[in-house]
Structure 1
Amino acid sequence: MKILFTKCVLCFSLNLLAQTTAMGYVFEDTNENGKKDRREQGIAEVAVTNGIKVVLTNQEGKYELPVGEDNIISVIKPSGYKVGINEGNLPQFFYIHKPNGSPDLKFKGVEPTGILPNSVDFALISSEEKEDFTALIFGDPQPYTQQQVNYFAEGIVAELEGIEKVPFGLSLGDLVGDDLDLFNPYIKAVKNVSIPWYNLLGNHDINFDLENDTLSDETYEAHFGPANYAFNYGKVHFLVLDDVLYPDPRDGKGYWGGFREDQFQFIENDLKHVTKDHLIVVALHIPLSEPDGRDTFRDEDRERLFKLLKYFPNTLSLSAHTHIQRQDFFQKEEGWQQDKPHHHYNVGTTFGDWYSGKLDEKNVPISTMRDGTPKGYAFINFDGNEYSIDYKVAGKPADYQMEVFASKVVAKGRGTKAGIYVNFFMGTEGDEVLYRIDDGEWKEMQYMEDYDPSYIEMVYEWDSTEELMPGRRSSNPIISEHLWRGNIPTKLEAGEHSIEIKAADIFEKTHTAKSSYRLAEPVE
C-alpha cells in the first residue's frame, strides 16, 4: 500500500512538473515533415526562449524552460537553418502555451491549448545562407477596410509577386487599422509575395478591450505568434519587439512607446548568446526618435536599450508608425554609449498617407506621405555585419529616388524668389546634393527643413478644383527633413533650360534626376 501511495505521489509530482516546465528538442528535420523522427538528430547550442528566459540546447539538442499559464515557447533560429512556414507563408518557430486560452474579447484570441505536451520540439531545416542577402521591409500596411486591403494588394504586393533572391520579408507593425478581423485578409495579400514573412505588432493591431499591456496582443498572437522574438540570418541578429505600451502608464489612456520589465529581461538574455561582432537589427513600430519634440517614447527605456547594445559595435534599428521617412543618428549626448552613432531608420510606409490622394491607373490612391515621400517599401542589403538601404517607390522605376520641383516658366533677366527644390527621399542633412543648368558647372544645393512644394501643389489642387475628384483629399503637409533648394538662373537665353540633379546618400550611392524650366521675355 505504501509503495502504491509513493507511486501516486511521484506521478502527481511529475505531472505538476510537466505543466510548469516545457522541455523538448531542437532537431534537424531532414525529411521536412515538421516532426522529430527517430533517426533525426538534435542540434546543440541553439537558443530557445519562453519570452523572458533564454537557454541553449545541450549536446542532444534538448532544452528545458519554466512556463506558467501564458507563455509562448520559441526557437531563435540560428544561421544556416530555416524554419517551416504555414499556408500563409508565416514562419512557424513557436508553440503557444495558454491552457485556458485568451480572455473573452471583441476579436478572437487564442483557443485553449490544454495540457502541455511531453515534448515541445522545434524543427530546423538545413539551409545555405549567404552572408550577403537582402530583406524586404514594409512599414504600416494599415488597411481599415477590405477595399484598402485590395489597395495594398494591387498597389504594393502585385509588383513584388514572385520576387527572387530575397529570403524573407518583415512588416513593421500596424498590419491592419484597428479591425483585427482584417488580419487574415492581410495575410492572404502578403502571401502572394511568395517568401517567408515575419510580422511585428503596432498600435493599431492591439486588443483595446483589455487594459493590460501583457494581454493587449492576444489576437495578434493567435495569428502571428509571439510579439517579441528573435532570429539569425548570416551575420545578422534580428530582434523584433513590441514597443507599444497600452494603456499609457502615465494616465491609463492611449499608448506610449517603450518596454515592460519582462521585455528587457528577454532582450538582455537574448543578447548574451549573440556574437559581439554580428550586426544587431532591432525592429520596432514606434520610433526611438521623437519628431517635433513630442514625448512619444519613454526616455529611460531608450537609454536602457542603448545600454544593452553598448558592447555591439554594429547596430541598426527600424521603425514605421509616423507615415513619413527619416533617418536619425543617436550620439552620446542622446544616450548612445559608443563613439560610432547609432542609425535609426524610420521607414516610409506602404500605406502612405492613409490611402489618400488621386487614383492611379490601377484606381489605387497614390497616397504620397506628408513629407513628400511617395508610398513604398525598403530593401535592406546585408553583407556580413554591414548594410545599405534602398527605398523603392511603389509603381516607379528603382532609380526614382528624388522629386524635383521648379517653376515651369520664369521671366528672363529678372531676379526671382522661386527656386529649384529636390526632395531626396533617403537623404539626410549633410548629404551632398548638386545641381547644374544646361551641362554647366555643378553647384551645391542648400539643405533646408521646410514643406515640400510639390506636395503642397498636389494637396491644394483638391482645394482649388471646382469639381470633386475621385479619391480623398491628402493630409496637410508637414516639414520634410530631406529637402534641398537651389536658385533659378534667369540671365540666360529665352527658351527651355535643363536641370540636372546629382545626390549621394549615406551609403555612398549616387542618384540622379532631371527636370527643366523655361525662360520667357517679361510681359509688361
Structure 2
Amino acid sequence: MYALTLGDMTWDGYWYTNNYALPQYIVEMNKINAMVFNTMGNHDNDPKFYEDWGAEDKFRDVLGPTYYSFNIGKVHYIVLDNIEYINAGDARNYNTKIVADQIEWLKKDLATITDKDTPIVIAMHAHLHTNPILNTSGAETTGYRISNAQDFVNTLNGFNTVHVLTGHTHINYNVETAATPHIMEHNTAAICATWWWTGNAGYAGNHICKDGAPGGYGIWAIDGRDLKWGYKSIGEHADYQFRAYDLNQVHLTKDKYAPILSLQVI
C-alpha cells in the first residue's frame, strides 16, 4: 500500500503562529504504515519568502523535490508543482501554473516511456479543469484552470491512458472531454473537509466538504494496467455515498447554519 498526497499538508498561516509546519507534518505521517509520496500545495510554501523558489526551500529540505517521477508496477507516476508562489505584500497569493522548467523536464521524462499504453498517473495540487457546469442547453461544460494548461496537455499527446489527480477545491468531480479523451481528471475532496468552517462550534460534528461530501480520500486499486478508483468517507464503509434529509422535517436558519464566508481559505 502506498499513499499519495495532493498538496496542502499544512496551512502556511499556521507555520509561525501555531508552530505547525512541514516538520510537524512528518511526525504525524510517520504514524501510518505506508510509504508516502508528497505533492506541494499553495499552503506548503514558506510565507516568509516573496518568490517561488525560496518559498519552496523548506519543502525540499523536509520532503524532497517539488516535482519528480517514479514507477510502481506497470504504472508511471509523475508529481508536479503547479503553484507559482508570489506572496506580494504577505498576501500569500500565487499563480496556478506549471513553470517552463517543469514543462521541459516533463517532456524529457515522458520521452523515456516508449510503450504509449503505459498508464500515466499525474498528481498536482491545483485542478486542471474548472468544476463542470451545465449550460443553457443542458450540456456539460468546463474550462482550464491552470494558465498554461494547453502546454501541459500537449506533452501528453500519444499516450492512451492518463489520469490527473488534483485537490485544492475541497469538492469532488471528475472530468473527461471530447478534445482529450485520453485524459481523465479526478479532483478529490479533502480529508480535512472544510476545517475552517466545520471545525467551529455549531456544526453538529459534520465533517463535510464544500460540495456536501463527507471529508475523505481517494482509494485506488491497481492490478497491472487495470486501474479502479473511488472515494472513501472517513469512518464510513466504502459504499457510503451521501446523506439525504427530509426537508419537511428540517428547519434551517441563516444565523445558525450559514458559513461565515470571511473564514473561507483555499
Quickly name the TM-score band, shorter chain normalised.
Answer: 0.7 to 0.9
Q: What amino acid maps onto 2:194 in structure 1?
A: D
Equivalent in the alignment of 2:194: 353
Q: Deviations over 1:15-35 (max 9, x none)?
A: xxxxxxxxxxxxxxxxxxxxx
Equivalent in the alignment of 1:183: 22
Q: Deviations over 1:267-297 (max 9, x none)?
A: 0111111232111111010000123889842
Which structure has the larger Rg?
A: 1
Q: Are residues 1:244 and 2:83 paired?
A: yes
Equivalent in the alignment of 2:102: 263
CA contact (8 A) 2:98 2:152 kept: no
Q: C-alpha separation between the residues in 1 aligned to 2:10 and 2:105?
A: 26
1:324 aligned to which of 153, 171, 194: 171
CA contact (8 A) 1:356 1:366 kept: no
CA contact (8 A) 2:170 2:193 kept: yes
Q: Deviations over 1:66-124 (max 9, x none)?
A: xxxxxxxxxxxxxxxxxxxxxxxxxxxxxxxxxxxxxxxxxxxxxxxxxxxxxxxxxxx
Q: Are residues 1:307 and 2:154 paired?
A: yes
Change (3 A) 1:283 1:295: closer
Task: Report how far residue 395 of structure 1 moved.
Answer: 1.4
Q: What amino acid maps onto 1:348 in structure 2?
A: A
Q: Deviations over 1:182-223 (max 9, x none)?
A: 222222212222111111110001123333323321011111
1:285 aligned to which of 125, 135, 142: 125
Q: Deviations over 1:411-462 (max 9, x none)?
A: xxxxxxxxxxxxxxxxxxxxxxxxxxxxxxxxxxxxxxxxxxxxxx69x467
Query: 2:105 is paired with a residue of what secondary structure?
Result: helix
Regions of 4+ moved over 4 Å? 292-296, 473-476
| Equivalent runs, 1:124-523 vs 2, <5 Å | 166=1, 168-178=2-12, 179-180=14-15, 181-247=20-86, 254-274=93-113, 275-291=115-131, 296-298=145-147, 301-332=148-179, 336=180, 340-354=181-195, 356-357=197-198, 365-407=205-247, 460=252, 463-464=255-256, 474=259
Q: What's the Cα RMSD here?
A: 3.0
Q: Deviations over 1:120-165 (max 9, x none)?
A: xxxxxxxxxxxxxxxxxxxxxxxxxxxxxxxxxxxxxxxxxxxxxx
CA contact (8 A) 1:355 1:367 kept: no
Q: Which has the higher helix share?
A: 2
Task: Report how far residue 234 of structure 1 moved.
Answer: 1.0
Q: Which has the higher strand share?
A: 1
Runs of 5+ unmatched residues, structure 1: 1-165, 410-456, 466-472, 477-524
Scaled by the length of structure 2, what TM-score is found?
0.81
Q: C-alpha separation between the residues in 2 aligned to 1:395 and 1:284?
A: 26
Scaled by the length of structure 1, what TM-score is found?
0.43
Q: How high is the sequence identity, in percent, across the aligned residues?
A: 26
Runs of 5+ unmatched residues, structure 2: 134-141, 262-266
Change (3 A) 1:330 1:247: farther
Q: C-alpha separation between the residues in 2 aligned to 1:218 and 1:358?
A: 30
Q: What amino acid maps onto 2:255 in structure 1?
A: D
Task: Report how far residue 320 of structure 1 moved.
Answer: 0.6
| Equivalent runs, 1:47-58 vs 2, <5 Å | none
